[in-house]
Amino acid sequence: MTTQTSIDLRHKASLIEAQWSPRVVAEMNDYQFKVVRIEGDFIWHDHQDTDEAFLVLEGQLRIDMRHGSVLLGPGELYVVPRGVEHKPYAEKEVRLMLIEPRGVLNTGHEGGERTAQNDLWI
Amino acid sequence: MTTQTSIDLRHKASLIEAQWSPRVVAEMNDYQFKVVRIEGDFIWHDHQDTDEAFLVLEGQLRIDMRHGSVLLGPGELYVVPRGVEHKPYAEKEVRLMLIEPRGVLNTGHEGGERTAQNDLWI
């Protein structure tokens, strides 16, 4: 018997050097689990081809949408439906996990300087 | 602006009446997020068509596999690859979230009395 290794999500998030730089920690079929540290405002974007799940690990996240917003604390989950414009915001740093299909860009199809390199692992 | 509702995973798990009865709390594309309370031993089974993700919310989970085992505490994630036989075990009650495609049965193709009704929401 050997012992396999679990993935400590908060520890993984603590290893990321820069904010707004998602890092893959595991895969499930063609989906990826990514951890990220964010603070401040992101850009409005959507994902035309997929829903996107947010699970907060530490801190408080607000997801603004055109029709409202949602507040997420530690242990809270929200799924942004495909095609729904959204803008993550955190007054102070929040650490969270994203779950989405492999290949999804953080800025959707908006592009620009806020687009992070994809498929980097930690 | 209206306020959307986040999903408090630990609270959802606390609402489930019986152990070994997964309840769906959200969907992402054709995947489901399920919370479940388990204690004791499950049966050996596998899922031939899909990986299965386990995220512990409260307590300690051990997943036995034929080639080893993995221990998971709160905030820890593990993905059992498709086709890998596994048997969840918890000495004391553990509350966790499962992530897997809609339609996956808790006992895989083993059937039997431990098979839970599928697609029940909470």
ipTM of the complex: 0.95
- The answer to whether residue A121 sits within a structural domain is no
pLDDT of residue B8: 98
- The answer to whether residue A94 sits within a structural domain is yes
- The answer to whether residue A120 sits within a structural domain is no
B76/A6 CB distance under 8 A? yes
B75/A10 CB distance under 8 A? yes
pLDDT tens-digit readout, B53-102: 999 999 999 999 998 999 999 999 999 999 999 999 999 999 999 999 99
pLDDT of residue B58: 98
Q: Judge residue B67's burial from the number of C-beta atoms within 10 Å of its C-beta, 0-12 exposed, 13-18 middle, 19 or more buried.
A: exposed
- The answer to whether residue B118 sits within a structural domain is no
Q: Pick from A38, A118, A33: which is nearest to B76 by CA?
A: A33
Record the tokens describing residue B10, joined without a space: 């630990």
Domain count, chain A: 1
- The answer to whether residue A119 sits within a structural domain is no
Min mean pLDDT across A5-9, B30-34, B74-78, B107-111 is at: B107-111
* DSSP SS3 for B75: coil
Q: Which of B69, B77, B79 sits opposite A3 (nearest CB)?
A: B69
- The answer to whether residue A115 sits within a structural domain is no
pLDDT of residue A52: 97
pLDDT tens-digit readout, B6-64: 999 999 999 999 999 999 999 999 999 999 999 999 999 999 999 999 999 999 999 99
Tokens 């697609």 label which residue?
A: B119
Separation CA B13–CA B94 (nearest Å): 10
Q: CATH code at B26?
A: 2.60.120.10
Q: How does DSSP classify residue B112? A: S
pLDDT of residue A4: 80
pTM over 0.80: yes
- The answer to whether residue B25 sits within a structural domain is yes
Domain limits for position A63: 9-101
Report the gap between the CA of A18 and the closest CA in chain B (Å): 21
Report the gap between the CA of B83 and the closest CA in chain A (Å): 12
Separation CA B102–CA B36 (nearest Å): 15
Task: For residue A92, give the amino acid letter.
Answer: K
Which residues of B have a CB under 8 Å from any CB of A? 1-10, 25-29, 31, 33, 50-53, 55, 57, 63, 65, 67-73, 75-79, 82, 99-101
- The answer to whether residue B96 sits within a structural domain is yes
